[in-house]
Structure 1
Amino acid sequence: MHTESPTPSPRPRILITGSNGQVGSELKELLGKEEGFETFFLDRKQLPLEQTLIIQDILGMYEPDIIIHAAAYTAVDKAESEPELADTVNHLATEEIAQYCRMHGAKLLAISTDYVFDGHSNEPLKEDAPTSPLNIYGLTKWKGEQAIQKWAPENIIIRTSWVYSAYGNNFVKTMIRLLHEREELSVVHDQIGSPTYARDLAQTMVDIIKAAKWHPGIYHYSNEGQLSWYDFAVNIQELIGTTCRITPIPTSQYPTLAKRPAYSLLDKSKIKRTFNVQVPFWLDSLKEMIASEH
């Protein structure tokens, strides 16, 4: 008697936007070690988010089961003078992606930001805390969140903060360079939050797509702990060992085009509870990233 072996189920197709960004680059490394998925990494040339009319056609070429939307317009100060471009990329392009997911039954895992909050809280922010962005970047990301929730019911949105990585441009890499170049630096001490090592966030996202059950909703993720940008800079210096003098200053002495929230510490209890996520302490992750740089 001849029995045919069952056809193996096809591997889920995962499409990642923003493949050259901080989180996208980390996802490329981590998903490259996973054999259970078929992955497609699209950069801004392959998926030009400012060209909203062609986004759904491009996505349709790959027929993804899951889209990880890591691409964004993230130049926070520049967004103040380019509000239309920031809105197109962070809001309208995200809406196109969400509509594609709705029409084709794909799941959407998207990254958002602590900048959807105004910073007036004095306790860690839960997912249902009132949103009130202070700047164009935060507003466009919030409008993107709204579009996702309207069109893509099977969505997971992860708000994160102060992202850094060995890839791309970020506070840690800038500090390492300036601490070697300068004798004195002034760093803001009255903006409180927690940094996020993009490798940790990417690993959490991989764990979520590998989880037995998909739990749609908004989640918060950053590394554990609470600090200011000044504290962050001091610890970077201690790890790399320079003699640059770092002076703490108030935000009022460091004017920027875009206002920043004074307090944007995220409460991570929901993501830890729902997906059994282990969140590393910020200093442990900083040490890991700096060790990878040297």
Structure 2
Amino acid sequence: MKNILVTGASGQLGKCFQKHSKKYPHWNFHFLFSAQLDITSQDSIQKTFKEGNFDVCINCAAYTNVEQAENEPEKAFLINAEAVKNLAKITSENNCILIHFSTDYVFNGNAEAPYSEEDEVDPVNEYGRSKLQGEQFIQEIADKYYIFRTSWLYSEFGHNFFNTILKKAGEGAELNITTSQRGTPTNANDLAEYVLKILNFEKQEFNLYHFSNEGEATWYDFAEAILDFSGNREKVKLNKTGFYKTLAERPSYSVLSKKKLKDTFPFEIPEWKTSLKDLLTEN
């Protein structure tokens, strides 16, 4: 029986792991919220690992507010880098597999083809820089780790673009959505399911991987698909805009190549529109 710790269990990815963990009743999951486990506190982490003999730590705790990170980079780096360093140390000391999630925002967006894991990193905002440093700490300290860079995460849980568009549709709002960024909307449920399949796989292939749904889109394309598939297209005036003012600079192109992942594991990755439709049907 695997003994699995999931940090940041109240966030959208943590909730997706809670949802899909039910398919693995032979594993013992421990879902801890930030009030139960503060990953920025070495004492809190050590106490948790002393009390539980964990085989796997899935770190869903993260600072994810890209805009706010520009104003409080110290907090972003504390959670996304220093705390991750602490987790890497303690999981290594306890012979525990560390699973961690990073971002397409480690790239500068100047590419014209999907980014591979070997491509040069060059984040353009504080959030991306903090996530990159977290990756680097894990790679320096840990041996048994999976890092998954992902992009444009959404789900039925929490505050995200998907839920915001559905809420605005219910209000009959007018929406101006940018076409200036191209990436891949990724259903957090698919990411959680994929990670659990890897944990159930006969071989351990520790490494840094890219995971997103298949295909690519602009934020406008994503909004349009949400409205179309949910039957709300006529309720909203949806406008394209080539410019959307934000405090944090965003990479204009951040599509991730999944070749390394697909060459390593035999599991299917859904296309983003298919996954979006499935989520709306399910809910």
TM-score scaled to structure 1, two decimals?
A: 0.92
Q: Alignment RMSD, CA only?
A: 1.2
Aligned to 1:98: 88
Aligned to 2:72: 82
Q: SS of the residue aligned with 2:149?
A: strand
Aligned to 1:4: none
Give the conservation status (yes or no) of the 8 Å contact 1:55–1:93: no
Cα distance, 1:50 vs. partner? 3.3
1:201 aligns with 2:191: yes
Q: Extract unaligned runs of 5+ from structure 2.
A: none
Give the conservation status (yes or no) of the 8 Å contact 2:9–2:33: yes
Cα distance, 1:169 vs. partner? 0.9
Alignment partners' CA distance in 2, 1:28 and 1:128:
32
Paired-residue identity, %: 38
Given candidates 2, 21, 29, the residue that maps to 2:11 is 21
Alignment partners' CA distance in 2, 1:20 and 1:12:
22
1:186 aligns with 2:196: no
Runs of 4+ deviating beyond 6 Å? none
Alignment partners' CA distance in 1, 2:166 and 2:280:
9
Aligned to 1:161: 151
1:219 aligns with 2:209: yes
1:249 aligns with 2:241: yes
Q: SS of the residue aligned with 1:77?
A: helix
Q: Extract unaligned runs of 5+ from structure 1.
A: 1-10
Q: SS of the residue aligned with 2:198?
A: helix
Given candidates 96, 112, 121, the residue that maps to 2:111 is 121
- CA deviation digits over 1:9-55, x for unaligned, max 9? xx121111111111111111211231331111111111113334432
Structure 1 or 2, whichever has the larger Rg, is: 1
Cα distance, 1:194 vs. partner? 0.6
Give the conservation status (yes or no) of the 8 Å contact 2:92–2:143: yes
Alignment partners' CA distance in 1, 2:39 and 2:144:
22
Aligned to 1:234: 224
Given candidates 270, 273, 278, the residue that maps to 1:280 is 270
Given candidates 20, 28, 33, the residue that maps to 1:30 is 20
Alignment partners' CA distance in 1, 2:119 and 2:46:
32
Give the conservation status (yes or no) of the 8 Å contact 1:16–1:42: yes
Aligned to 2:60: 70
Give the conservation status (yes or no) of the 8 Å contact 2:186–2:272: yes
1:210 aligns with 2:194: no
Cα distance, 1:107 vs. partner? 0.9
Counterpart of 1:114, as a letter, is: D
Aligned to 1:3: none
Counterpart of 1:250, as a letter, is: G
Give the conservation status (yes or no) of the 8 Å contact 1:52–1:92: no
Give the conservation status (yes or no) of the 8 Å contact 1:50–1:85: no
Counterpart of 1:141, as a letter, is: K
- CA deviation digits over 1:62-84, x for unaligned, max 9? 12111111110101111111111
Matched positions, count: 281
- CA deviation digits over 1:201-220, x for unaligned, max 9? 00100001011111111100
- CA deviation digits over 1:59-105, x for unaligned, max 9? 32212111111110101111111111111111011001000111111
Q: SS of the residue aligned with 2:40?
A: coil
- CA deviation digits over 1:263-288, x for unaligned, max 9? 00000111112111200011111011
Alignment partners' CA distance in 1, 2:184 and 2:171:
26
